Amino acid sequence: MRYSTAFDLSGQVAVVTGGASGIGLESARALGQCGAAIELVDFNPATLAAAADTLRQEGVNVATSVVDVTDPKQVNAAAEQIFKRAGRVDTLLNSAGIAQLHTAVDISDEDWRRVMDVNVNGTFWCCRAFGARMIEAGGGSIVNMGSMSGTIINRPQFASSYMASKGAIHQLTKALAVEWAQSGVRVNALAPGYVATEMTLAMRARPELFNTWLDMTPMGRLAEPQEIASLVVFLASAASSYMTGSIVAVDGGYTSI
């Protein structure tokens, strides 16, 4: 490996779910800047089209698929179509995810199921559909979006569905990593702390939450999406070739205290 070219993804194809916004969009930009052709996946057609336009204007090669990751039929069809169209998939980033604040007593059955369905089931359907084809092709890198919430419990807000879903993503990541370790398919997860995206926008506007977050984060600030995207590039690249089953914290020191 030449270290100076380890992050060159030229000729590769990267699929990014939740690619219309936040960490997914920024990671698509980062992977694209490193040379990968991007298959951008999201269930929101309007934001997906706008995100793809923005990336194209920046010179990134982008194709789009409107997919609700909670529907395994849609996910399987998209995987088939993308492999047919692009000929290969080297990286899958599962960034589609949702969060809700609620107390355990008050959350509705539907809301609980929705968080699990998007975050856990959606991640699994995508890992399975793309992973199976990566195994056939002889390798690939899957990056799941975990969270520090898969390890610690956020405060002062309550969101047991989110904590449970992210813990499940961490364990799913390790289970698939071990199952597929001999196939050339690597499976890792990122565990970000608070990131300045749409997901945290309304919460950041509440000083009683935001000030506690800053107090509890040793670096005293949130992450910018770029600070997560650079790790996605690392996990996609040959530079991380011996990493699988890792849950990589990127949280400004939050889980160190």
Ligand X SMILES: NC(=O)c1ccc[n+]([C@@H]2O[C@H](COP(=O)([O-])OP(=O)(O)OC[C@H]3O[C@@H](n4cnc5c(N)ncnc54)[C@H](O)[C@@H]3O)[C@@H](O)[C@H]2O)c1
Among 14, 16, 20, 40, binds ligand X (CB under 6 A): 20
Asked if 140 and 94 touch (Cβ cutoff 8 Å), the reply is: no
Pattern 76-105, ligand X, x by CB under 6 A: -------------------xxxxx------
Position 64 contacts ligand X (CB under 6 A): no
**Nearer to ligand X (CB atom), residue 22 or residue 131:** 22
Q: Identify the bridge partners of residue 141 per DSSP, sorted by sequence position.
A: 91, 186
Which residue spans within 1-61 are E strands per DSSP? 13-17, 37-42
Asked if 211 and 156 touch (Cβ cutoff 8 Å), the reply is: no
**Nearer to ligand X (CB atom), residue 17 or residue 244:** 17
- Please state whether 139 falls in left (phi above 0), alpha (psi between -120 and 50) or beta: left
Position 39 contacts ligand X (CB under 6 A): no
- Please state whether 154 falls in left (phi above 0), alpha (psi between -120 and 50) or beta: beta
Amino acid, res. 111: D
Active site residues: 162
Among 9, 86, 118, 159, binds ligand X (CB under 6 A): 118
Contact range with ligand X by CB under 6 A, out of 7-15, 65-73, 126-134, 179-187? 65-73
Q: Interface with ligand X by CB under 6 A: which residues?
A: 17-18, 20-24, 42-44, 47, 67-70, 95-99, 118, 122, 145, 147, 192, 194-195, 197-200
